[in-house]
Amino acid sequence: MQTKWFQPSSWGAQSTPAGRANGAPTEPGPAPQNGQEMNAAPTASCASNGLGALDSNWLSFEEIYRSAGIKAPRLGYSICKVIEMLHNEHIRNLPAETRRASLLMALEAAGVAVDEVLQDATLRQRAINSYEAIQQKRLEEYEARKAQENRAIQAEMDRVTAEYLARINRNLDDLAHGKEAFYRWQMKKQHEAQRMAEAAAFCVPRAQSDSMPASRELAVVIEVNKR
């Protein structure tokens, strides 16, 4: 069985499943090179047995097999066909040995060698493993790019944070300097008021000081300044 089966450039650049655009079927993918032809009636997909819907950003298994250039084997007895046979309602609930015997009997009756089926399984395993490795590498590269972006964002955030913290600290320093300057002025004011009150006290005879409003106010000022 001949096959061309590494197409990393097409797998790596695939953003949506091959052969689809906006969810609608389009022309099939490129045919294999070297004169190979795809089987016009593909066998049952291995992905159709309970594996669920695939993410729209990934190739389906059939598309991977087709991109790898895997043709349906002689008489259509691929490993996917064998899976379909084993899940047939007539034998799927039978004991394992009975199912094995039934399968081998069917292959022998069809003239299909077991090695052909095993070779087909090997090629398909290699194809999906190769696709997985390519996508894993793409994911790691994407992760590295995002990590670098995050580091740049973090650096910018740290720079902006440091800038705003510096502005906050300058505001706090300005406020502290203002409070300190105001306190120094208050001390000078207290001293000045004390001096004026003491000097004014000498301007009024003691016998008249209690009866004069100005004298009483000066006495209050003196008491306040002493505190």
Question: Reduced to 3 states, what is the DSSP secondary structure of residue 24?
Answer: strand
For residue 192, pLDDT over 80 is answered with yes
At how many degrees (to 10) do helices 96-110 and 114-201 cross? 120
* Mean pLDDT confidence for 166-176: 97
Residue 163 lies in a domain: no
Least confident of 20-29, 65-74, 112-121, 177-186: 20-29
Between CA 120 and CA 107 the distance in angstroms is 14
Per-residue confidence at 218, pLDDT binned at 50, 70, 90?
A: low
Residue 111 lies in a domain: yes
Mean pLDDT value across the chain:
76
**Total structural domains within the chain:** 1
Extract long-range pairs of 189-197: CB within 8 Å, 24+ residues apart.
190/225, 193/221, 193/225, 194/222, 194/225, 197/221, 197/222, 197/225
* Mean pLDDT confidence for 114-138: 93
* Mean pLDDT confidence for 178-204: 90
Residue 17 lies in a domain: yes
pLDDT score recorded for residue 200: 84
pLDDT score recorded for residue 48: 46
For residue 136, pLDDT over 70 is answered with yes
Q: Is 123 exposed, middle or buried (0-12, 13-18, 19+ CB in 10 A)?
A: buried
* Mean pLDDT confidence for 94-105: 91
Domain hosting residue 145, numbered range? 8-155
pLDDT score recorded for residue 206: 64
Residue 214 lies in a domain: no
pLDDT score recorded for residue 163: 97
Locate tokens 């009024």: which residue?
A: 204
Residue 188 lies in a domain: no
Least confident of 9-18, 117-126, 128-137, 178-187: 9-18
Higher-confidence position of 14 and 102: 102
Between CA 155 and CA 152 the distance in angstroms is 5
* Mean pLDDT confidence for 160-165: 97
Please list the residues that pair with 21 across neighbouring strands. 24
Residue 114 lies in a domain: yes
**What secondary structure letter does DSSP report for 74?**
G
For residue 187, pLDDT over 90 is answered with yes
Residue 223 lies in a domain: no
pLDDT over 70 for what percent of the chain?
Answer: 66
CA 143 to chain centroid, in Å, comes to 8
pLDDT score recorded for residue 203: 82
For residue 25, pLDDT over 50 is answered with no
Residue 221 lies in a domain: no
Quote the pTM value. 0.52
For residue 148, pLDDT over 70 is answered with yes
For residue 159, pLDDT over 50 is answered with yes
